């Protein structure tokens, strides 16, 4: 990049952001240039939380730090030692900076098949950068790891200067790109109860590597649990559909349509997403029971 020349510079509405067009070897490259005021490397969770209270933003994989964020102060948390998948007896703990590739490769998560299936759907490059903590904290409906975590009743352990608290992952989703974390609070790890049963994850995108137009995870043990992505403003459990399964798949499909609220955008219309939801439910139930 040192040998490139800036062909064009365009200001953006975001503070300290510019779009830079580089001319190099007759090709044009579009880059996002972010002028940071501060970049810190945290060595402890306490230090991280203090910086968060001062308005810093977390960075680990960096796949979500883009024009959607006014990233002027970043604190790098890769040195906190939270990149683990551990056996805790009756639970499996996944550190918030564990890469998606670690989840895909972990033998400890073999019983949580739906989560490993979701990890496989990330592109190769993103899989080795993106963290499970960032994927969940970003609170977007298309987060691939969210539906599996929901059907496994996963909990998140959060840390702040006031100590730790444990909450259902489902409670973290407040709205589009809005989570329920307090100022100065971060996700430390996720806890998944041991699981004996069957599970599945399916995702439909415009391409195999695109964001989910609709995604679904199902777990079957003592009861059946269903969760979806891109079916509402945030990832969701489909509890009405779960209850209706006691009667028939068709009733479950009808109940599913009554509780999801997909939106129309450039990727797909809400009517198309509704059709996909029904087809995915039938397909997932057929495959997980095969």
Residue 232: closest CA among 257, 249, 205, 201: 257
CATH 3.30.465.10 fits 79-193, yes or no: yes
Please identify, in words, the CATH class of the domain defined by 200-288: alpha beta
The pLDDT of residue 68 is 57
Vertex 236: Cα angle to 52 and 127 (nearest 5): 60
Q: What is the mean pLDDT of residues 190-211?
A: 90
The pLDDT of residue 175 is 94
The pLDDT of residue 10 is 41
- pLDDT tens digits, 74-93: 999 999 999 999 999 999 99
Burial 166-184 (b: 16+ CB within 10 A, else e): eeebbebbeeeeebebeeb
The helix/strand/coil state of 137 is helix
Q: Of 205 and 221, which is predicted with more confidence? A: 221
The pLDDT of residue 35 is 60
**pLDDT for residue 30 is more than 60:** no
The helix/strand/coil state of 273 is helix
Confidence class for position 24, pLDDT limits 50, 70, 90: very low
**pLDDT for residue 124 is more than 90:** no
CA distance 57 to 164: 19
**pLDDT for residue 237 is more than 70:** yes
The pLDDT of residue 290 is 77
Q: What is the mean pLDDT of residues 251-274?
A: 95
120 within 8 A of 109, measured Cβ to Cβ: no
Q: State pTM to two decimals.
A: 0.87
The pLDDT of residue 27 is 40
The pLDDT of residue 62 is 86
Confidence class for position 203, pLDDT limits 50, 70, 90: very high
> Within a 10 A sphere around the Cβ of 276, how many other Cβ atoms?
23
State the average pLDDT for the chain.
Answer: 88
List, in order, residues 6 or more apart from 185 with CB less than 8 Å away.
Answer: 49, 52, 158, 159, 160
């Amino acid at each position: 990049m040192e040998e490139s020349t800036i062909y064009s510079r365009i200001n953006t509405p975001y503070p300290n952001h510019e779009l830079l067009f580089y001319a190099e070897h007759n090709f044009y490259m579009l880059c996002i240039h972010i002028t940071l005021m501060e970049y810190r490397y945290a060595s402890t969770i306490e230090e991280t939380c203090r910086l968060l209270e001062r308005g810093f933003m977390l960075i680990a994989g960096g796949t979500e730090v883009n024009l959607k964020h006014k990233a002027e102060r970043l604190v790098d948390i890769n040195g906190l030692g939270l990149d683990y998948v551990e056996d805790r007896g009756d639970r499996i703990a996944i550190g918030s900076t564990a890469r998606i590739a670690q989840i895909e490769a972990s033998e400890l998560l073999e019983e949580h098949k739906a989560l490993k299936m979701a990890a496989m759907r990330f592109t190769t490059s993103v899989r080795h950068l993106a963290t499970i903590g960032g994927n969940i904290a970003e609170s977007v409906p298309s987060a691939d790891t969210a539906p599996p975590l929901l059907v496994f009743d996963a909990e998140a352990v959060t840390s702040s200067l006031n100590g730790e608290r444990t909450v259902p992952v489902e409670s973290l989703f407040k709205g589009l790109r809005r989570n329920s974390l307090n100022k100065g609070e971060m996700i430390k790890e996720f806890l998944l109860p041991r699981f004996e049963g069957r599970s599945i994850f399916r995702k439909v995108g415009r391409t195999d590597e695109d964001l989910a137009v609709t995604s679904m995870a199902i777990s079957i043990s003592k009861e059946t649990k269903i969760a979806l992505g891109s079916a509402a403003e945030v990832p969701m459990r489909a509890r009405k559909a779960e209850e209706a399964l006691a009667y028939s798949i068709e009733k479950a499909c009808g109940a599913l349509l009554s509780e999801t609220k997909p939106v129309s955008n450039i990727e797909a219309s809400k009517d198309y997403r509704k059709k996909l939801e029904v087809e995915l439910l039938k397909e997932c139930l057929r495959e997980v029971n095969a």
